[in-house]
Structure 1
Amino acid sequence: MKDIGVEEQMSSWLFRQLKIHLEQEWKYQPREKGLSLIECTVENENALCPRLRNAKVEDLWSLTNFFGFATETFVLAVNILDRFLALMKVKPKHLSCIGVCCFQLAARVVEEECNIPSLHDVIRISQCKCTVSDLKRMEKIISEKLHFDFKATTALTFLHLYHTIVLCHTSERKELLNLDKLEAQLKACNCRLVFSKAKPSILALCLLSLEVQALKSIELFEMVLYVQKHSKISDSDLLYWRELVSKCLADYSSPACCKPDHKKLVWIVSRRTAQNLQNSYYSVPELPTIPEAGCIDESESEDSCEDMSCGEESLSSSPPSDLESTFFFDLKPKSTPCARLSY
């Protein structure tokens, strides 16, 4: 009886947390109008297009793993990046500096202070062609535009919460629902701009439901429906985003996925910097490339977002890195995309 009481208290607490995060998630979503403008931008030297944004997110993924940081750091860095890009008109040459700043801001929220690298080290490791002064200036701009509100409710927040709720209400073996695999799949989705337009709660539930479908567990499937009901996510919204997520994961796992030369990222580190770096810095993971879809060429509205160019001309971006390799990290590719669940 005592154990049952503890489980009920735990369940009640989890659903209270779910309610709190559902009420907060809208505050940390990037402006859809700003994201749509990026989505429809044709690539040129004066405008930020989806390919450049996605490539920068891949860089953030690589940096996160290079420094041995948590998935939460990567997801939060992407959230900060997208929220800022959806507010400001950013030139491509500024993107490298902005990306490093978002990485540093996220690391300060998530990681232990003693593990956070200096700006000088991050500039060296990321091959970012800007100075410490540039980073500090850009960090001030980002902080002010986002009102210093960095600790966000993200899709990872919901993924962890959903995972815990499901495991607390099922008799299935706990290891069946692999959280590391779900996190890796979320990282892949983060590398595509379109998923920044999805509600974090919906994106997380899509990943969970696709994994449960692959496991073919009726008990877990019933729990997904239970979570969906409590999250007040409609069938139409879930099915719409599930289809996009399923296609994204199938693209990643397919051998036909467009990857340039499968070259590993080569970090340029001075002898002086190398002496100050931890051993873990040298364990560089491999990073997959996202196949790109076409953009719609539409003119931008003048009042859609602020122009970043004023006063920031000295900031420049580094040349694109060769970051090509295998699908996810330790995950085995699937040969076919997942089918829909029946509702």
Structure 2
Amino acid sequence: MPKWKDFYNGVHSRLDMEAVKLMRELKANFEQERNYLPKETGLSLIESTRENDNRGISAKCRDAKVEDLWSLTSFFGYSTKTFVLAVNLLDRFLAMMKVQPKHLACISISCLHIAAKAVEEECNVSSTNELIRISQCKFTVSDLTRMEKIVSEKLNFQIQAITALTFLHLYHRITLSDTSDRKETLNLDKLEAQLKACICRIAFSKAKPSVLALSLLTQEIEAMQAADMLETAHHVQRHLKIADTELIHWRGLVAKCMSDYSSPECSKPDNKKLVWIVSRRTAQGLHTSHYSVPDLPTIPEDCWDESESEDSCEDMSSGEESLSSSLGSDAEGPYFPLHFRCQSNKYPQTS
């Protein structure tokens, strides 16, 4: 019999008290999650925008930048929490702002930097100079600093967010505490990887974090054929009053995403290495201590008409190629190996 049932039957053991603490934490996060959801109307506008429309961000454009953030997260050794928070900040910002594609690089990198400063140890946070250089974007440190300020202000400085990762970790702890005598346990790293694959698609930005996390959890538990864990998951579902129809809907989308992601045709950000192929001349130029870029126009702060219920987006940068699309190009040799951060002053020679 699951320990959750023991508690509600009046058995007050140490494990039961820990269970109560976890359930209270779960309930508190559940009640607050709506405060960190992107505006659904804004997300729908992005989904309806045509790919080559320079007046707005399309779903494909957004998804490509999120994959870039995943690659950068891996490159700099940031945690899954940093990546998930960066995507949350980006989606919330894009859902309330009218953004042109040429601005997206600066916005996405600023969200990653904000998230890293909120999550990572200070000594592990890359400098703005390094972020710009590694991402090969065409804006200045000043541009990035100003954009970070804009993003933070537009989000009312609500940087620490409740995300699907928050619930995934809570569900994992609850399941472990309820099935502590099992030899086979849930693989949290695998669940996190599945979550990252999902949030690379804008469709999952519309899911409630608690539901998306439970969809991932129950799907993995069923694959393990663990009846006791499934009972615990169902108890959590009832405790949060998540409707069966809602869970079934998102589980179907998660299953489709995992199926697509496992196919050989899928280009996986987590399997990519941030490697730039450049000529010897370009490599020599990148040895310099300063990264020169042209000056950009001053950021306007004009708002859209109230009838549009959208804020304005500041003019920050020129359009850039996707990091993902830049990988594996034909040229003379690799640059920026994975150990770049440890040996930042030792660049390999190109062939």
TM-score for the superposition, normalised by structure 2: 0.78
Deviations 1:270-325 (A, max 9, x none): 33569xxxxxxxxxxxxxxxxxxxxxxxxxx95142231xxx33522321223579
- Structure with larger Rg: 2
> More relative contact order in 1 or in 2 (CA 8 Å, sep 6+)?
1
Aligned counterpart, 1:159? 168
Q: Aligned ranges for residues 174-185 of structure 1 at < 5 Å? A: 175-185=184-194
Q: Aligned ranges for residues 55-66 of structure 1 at < 5 Å? A: 55-66=64-75
Aligned counterpart, 2:303? none
Aligned counterpart, 1:10? 18
Aligned counterpart, 1:32? 40
Contact 2:107-2:147 at 8 Å conserved across structures: yes
| Amino acid of the structure 2 residue aligned with 1:41 | T
Deviation at 1:196, TM superposition (A): 0.3
Aligned counterpart, 2:112? 103
Q: Secondary structure of the equivalent of 1:173?
A: coil
Flag the 1:304–1:157 CA change in 2: closer, same or farther, 3 A.
Answer: same
| Amino acid of the structure 2 residue aligned with 1:253 | S
Pick one of 283, 303, 312 that aligns with 2:308: 303
Matched, 1:49 2:65: no
Matched, 1:271 2:280: no
User: Whole-Å Cα distance in 2 between the matches of residues 143 and 203 of structure 1?
Assistant: 26
Query: Percent identity at matched positions?
Result: 56
Deviation at 1:174, TM superposition (A): 5.6
Aligned counterpart, 1:295? none
Structure 2: unaligned runs, 5 residues or longer: 1-10, 291-305, 329-351
Pick one of 312, 318, 321 that aligns with 1:319: 321
RMSD of aligned residue pairs (Cα, Å): 2.4
Contact 1:159-1:204 at 8 Å conserved across structures: yes
Pick one of 184, 190, 193 that aligns with 2:202: 193
Deviation at 1:257, TM superposition (A): 3.5
| Amino acid of the structure 2 residue aligned with 1:14 | L
Deviation at 1:4, TM superposition (A): 6.7
User: Whole-Å Cα distance in 2 between the matches of residues 251 and 263 of structure 1?
Assistant: 17
Flag the 1:273–1:227 CA change in 2: closer, same or farther, 3 A.
Answer: farther
Deviation at 1:258, TM superposition (A): 6.6
Q: Secondary structure of the equivalent of 2:90?
A: helix
| Amino acid of the structure 2 residue aligned with 1:322 | S
Where has structure 1 moved over 6 Å in runs of 4 or more? none
Pick one of 185, 197, 220 that aligns with 1:211: 220
User: Whole-Å Cα distance in 2 between the matches of residues 11 and 144 of structure 1?
Assistant: 38
Structure 1, 43-52 or 207-216: larger mean CA deviation: 43-52
Flag the 1:30–1:314 CA change in 2: closer, same or farther, 3 A.
Answer: closer
Matched, 1:224 2:233: yes
Contact 2:99-2:312 at 8 Å conserved across structures: yes
Deviation at 1:217, TM superposition (A): 1.1
TM-score for the superposition, normalised by structure 1: 0.80
Contact 1:60-1:103 at 8 Å conserved across structures: yes
Aligned counterpart, 1:328? none
Deviation at 1:263, TM superposition (A): 7.8
Aligned counterpart, 1:112? 121
User: Whole-Å Cα distance in 1 between the matches of residues 183 and 173 of structure 2?
Assistant: 10
